[in-house]
């Protein structure tokens, strides 16, 4: 690892230490402020992130015409559509049928676009989309497992201060999924766009670093605004994705495909 790659770990550890003492206070101050911003980040901002996974499997299908890749694209599409709808509607048979239809339209649209793209473009960017998908899927798997094991109650579900527990001790409360933050872990995958380059020697601009850091920070703050997470939850979510980002980056670079 380079010295620059250690900086996020140092900052994250400092924030985790801060959260050890002021988790409740910080979320208590932010909770309920700018609700429209919180709703936007909770319900809408991850839709294009999930869309990249669908795009990746469609791209792989167009390249090799293997049906299992198309099936993966359909499953990813169904998950993304239902995940987006469940914030607005009650999940029932009608919604599931609508999700199937929307997923089919979405897949057909992506396949139509990909079939009109030059094969050279697909081959050039295939590794990036694979990299992005590997980081996101592995991050979501680890985050989901930790949520189930840790069982930390969300701020908005607290009935009394006695129910609050610190981040570094598993609470073991069933059906409580505050630690770590899945939304923050998911949005942190935009780190991958630091590897979107026209050539291996292209330097990443300062603006791109600022946009990536800003996007992750805004998501973390919005989750506290919604009372869904504490500061330490969001930092842990970021750390999971950042670590996997580094692991997959070196894995792909070692094979000369990123």
Position 247 confidence tier, pLDDT thresholds 50, 70, 90 = very high
Is the Cβ–Cβ distance between 63 and 125 less than 8 Å? no
Crossing angle of the two packed helices 206-225 and 231-254, in degrees rounded to 10: 140
Average pLDDT, the chain: 91
The single-letter DSSP state of residue 154 is P
The single-letter DSSP state of residue 203 is P
Is the Cβ–Cβ distance between 152 and 176 less than 8 Å? yes
Convert the pLDDT of each residue in 217-239 to its tens digit: 999 999 999 999 999 999 999 99
Is the Cβ–Cβ distance between 51 and 107 less than 8 Å? no
Position 175 confidence tier, pLDDT thresholds 50, 70, 90 = low
CA dist 3 and 140 (Å) reads 27
The distance of Cα 165 from the centroid of its chain, to the nearest Å, equals 25
Convert the pLDDT of each residue in 39-78 to its tens digit: 898 888 999 999 999 999 999 999 888 899 999 999 999 9
Residue 249 clears pLDDT 80, i.e. is over it: yes
55 closest CA partner among 9, 110, 14, 100: 110
Is residue 196 helix, strand or coil?
Answer: coil
Convert the pLDDT of each residue in 197-218 to its tens digit: 877 678 888 999 999 999 999 9
pLDDT reported for residue 94: 85
Cα angle: 126, vertex 73, 197; to 5 degrees:
20
Q: To the nearest whole percent, how much of the chain has pLDDT over 90?
A: 63
Residue 196 clears pLDDT 70, i.e. is over it: yes
Position 106 confidence tier, pLDDT thresholds 50, 70, 90 = very high
Q: Which residue has the higher pLDDT, 162 or 233?
A: 233
Between the CA of residue 89 and those of 85, 94, 99, 104, 132, what are the distances in Å? Answer: 6, 10, 12, 20, 30
The residues near 167 (Cβ < 8 Å, ≥ 6 apart) are 16, 19, 20, 23, 152, 179, 230, 232, 233, 236
pLDDT reported for residue 32: 86
pLDDT reported for residue 226: 93
10 Å Cβ neighbour count for 55? 20
């Amino acid at each position: 690892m380079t010295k620059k790659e250690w900086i996020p770990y140092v900052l994250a550890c400092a924030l985790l230490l801060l959260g050890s003492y002021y988790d409740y206070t910080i979320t208590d101050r932010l909770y309920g402020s700018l609700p429209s911003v919180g709703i936007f980040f909770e319900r809408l901002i991850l839709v294009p992130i999930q869309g990249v996974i669908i795009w990746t499997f469609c791209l792989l299908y167009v390249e090799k015409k293997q049906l299992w890749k198309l099936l993966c694209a359909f499953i990813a599409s169904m998950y993304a559509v239902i995940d987006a709808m469940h914030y607005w509607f009650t999940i029932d048979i009608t919604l599931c049928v609508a999700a199937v239809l929307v997923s089919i339209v979405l897949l057909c649209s992506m396949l139509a676009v990909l079939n009109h793209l030059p094969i050279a473009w697909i081959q050039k960017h295939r590794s990036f989309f694979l990299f992005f998908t590997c980081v996101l899927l592995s991050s979501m798997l680890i985050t989901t497992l930790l949520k189930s094991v840790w069982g930390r109650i969300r701020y908005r579900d607290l009935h009394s201060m006695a129910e609050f527990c610190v981040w570094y001790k598993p609470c073991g409360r069933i059906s409580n999924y505050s630690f770590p933050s899945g939304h923050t872990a998911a949005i942190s995958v935009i780190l991958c766009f630091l590897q979107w380059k026209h050539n291996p020697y292209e330097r990443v601009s300062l603006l791109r670093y600022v946009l990536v850091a800003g996007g992750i920070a805004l998501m973390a703050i919005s989750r506290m605004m919604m009372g869904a997470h504490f500061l330490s939850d969001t930092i842990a979510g970021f750390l999971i994705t950042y670590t996997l980002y580094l692991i997959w980056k070196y894995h792909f670079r070692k094979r000369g495909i990123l």
